[in-house]
Amino acid sequence: MVEKKLEGQTAIVTGGVRGIGLGIARRLASEGCKIVIWDQDISVFDVDRAGFKPIDLQSVDVSNFHSVNEAFAATLQKTQTLQILVNNAGINGPVLPVMDYPEEQWNRVLAVNLNGVFHCTKAVLSTMKKAGYGRIVNVASAAGKEGVPGIAAYAASKHGVIGFTKSLSRELAETGILVNCIAPVMTETDLLKEMTAEHISASKAKIPMGRFLQIPEIAAMVAWIVSPECSFTTGFTFDLSGGRANY
C-alpha cells in the first residue's frame, strides 16, 4: 500500500489530462494529495479512468500568461493553499532539420515548453513564498541535456527548462521552496504521434536498458521529489534514462 505522505497538500499538474502528467497526478493522489489539473483540453478527462477526482480541473493554455493567472486565481478560491507545482505540459513539434523548421512551429514549441514553465511558476510563487514552503518540478527531457537532430526546438526548450530550474532554485534557496527537474527518455504517450518512426527507433536504440521508460517509473520519482523527504536537493536534474545519461 502507498504511504499517504502528501496528505493535506495540494498540487497543480499541468498537462495532467493524459500521458505522463496523468500518471504523476494519479500517483500524487494515491499519496493523499489534492490534485488540480490545468490542461488545454480537459474534455477527455475521465474520473473513472483516472482513478481520482481532481479538486479543480481547468482549461488553461500554459503559453498564455493571462490564462494561467486567471486559472490560478480560480484554483486558489477552491484550494486556499498550494504546496506543489508540476510543470509537465509540453509538445514535441515536428521532426525536421532546422533549415526546414517552420518559424511558427518553433515559436509554439518554445511558447508551450519554456514560456509555459515560466508563466505557471510566476503565478504560484508568491503563494508559496508566503507559506515558506513549496516544491516545483519541471518536466524537461534527456533532450534537454544533449543535442538531438530533427528536434532542435524541443531540445532548445528543454535545455531552457533546465537552465531556468537551476537559476530559480538559487533565487529561492533560502525560502523553503525547492525547484528541480526531471529528464526522462522516451516514454510511449501521445507525444510520439508528432514523431517519425525513424526518430522513435533511434531514440529507443540509445537506451542501454533496451526498453522505453514507463509512466509509473516517472511518477514514483516525482512523488519523492515533491515530498517533504526531499529537503536538501534543489536545482537538480533527476535523470530517468535507463542508463543513457552518464553526465
Ligand X SMILES: NC(=O)c1ccc[n+]([C@@H]2O[C@H](COP(=O)([O-])OP(=O)(O)OC[C@H]3O[C@@H](n4cnc5c(N)ncnc54)[C@H](O)[C@@H]3O)[C@@H](O)[C@H]2O)c1
Nearest distance from C-beta of residue 223 to ligand X, angstroms: 16
Residue with smaller CB distance to ligand X, 32 or 146:
146
Q: Of residues 79-108, which lie at the interface with ligand X (CB under 6 A)?
A: 88-91
Q: If binding is defined by CB under 6 A, does position 138 make contact with ligand X?
A: no
Q: Report how far Cα 218 is from the mean position of its chain's Cα atoms.
A: 10
Residue with smaller CB distance to ligand X, 82 or 183:
183
Q: If binding is defined by CB under 6 A, does position 152 make contact with ligand X?
A: no
Residue with smaller CB distance to ligand X, 232 or 247:
247
Nearest distance from C-beta of residue 6 to ligand X, angstroms: 21
Q: Would you name the residues annotated as active-site residues? A: 154
Residue with smaller CB distance to ligand X, 19 or 150:
19
Q: If binding is defined by CB under 6 A, does position 56 make contact with ligand X?
A: no
Q: If binding is defined by CB under 6 A, does position 141 make contact with ligand X?
A: yes
The string of DSSP letters for the chain reads ----TTTT-EEEEETTTSHHHHHHHHHHHHTT-EEEEEES--TT--HHHHTS--SEEEE--TT-HHHHHHHHHHHHHHHS---EEEE----------GGG--HHHHHHHHIIIIIHHHHHHHHHHHHHHHHT-EEEEEE--GGGTS--TT-HHHHHHHHHHHHHHHHHHHHTTTTTEEEEEEEE--B-SGGGGGS-HHHHHHHHHT-TTSS-B-HHHHHHHHHHHTSTT--S--S-EEEE-TT----
| 177 vs 83: CA distance, rounded Å | 9
List 112, 137, 221, 223, residue binding ligand X (CB under 6 A): 112
Q: If binding is defined by CB under 6 A, does position 40 make contact with ligand X?
A: yes
List 61, 109, 199, 222, residue binding ligand X (CB under 6 A): 61
Nearest distance from C-beta of residue 51 to ligand X, angstroms: 16
| Site of grid cell 532554485 | 169
Nearest distance from C-beta of residue 232 to ligand X, angstroms: 25
Nearest distance from C-beta of residue 96 to ligand X, angstroms: 17
Residue with smaller CB distance to ligand X, 7 or 217:
217
| Site of grid cell 510563487 | 125
Binding region for ligand X (CB under 6 A): 14-15, 17-21, 39-41, 60-63, 88-91, 112, 116, 139, 141, 184, 186-187, 189-191
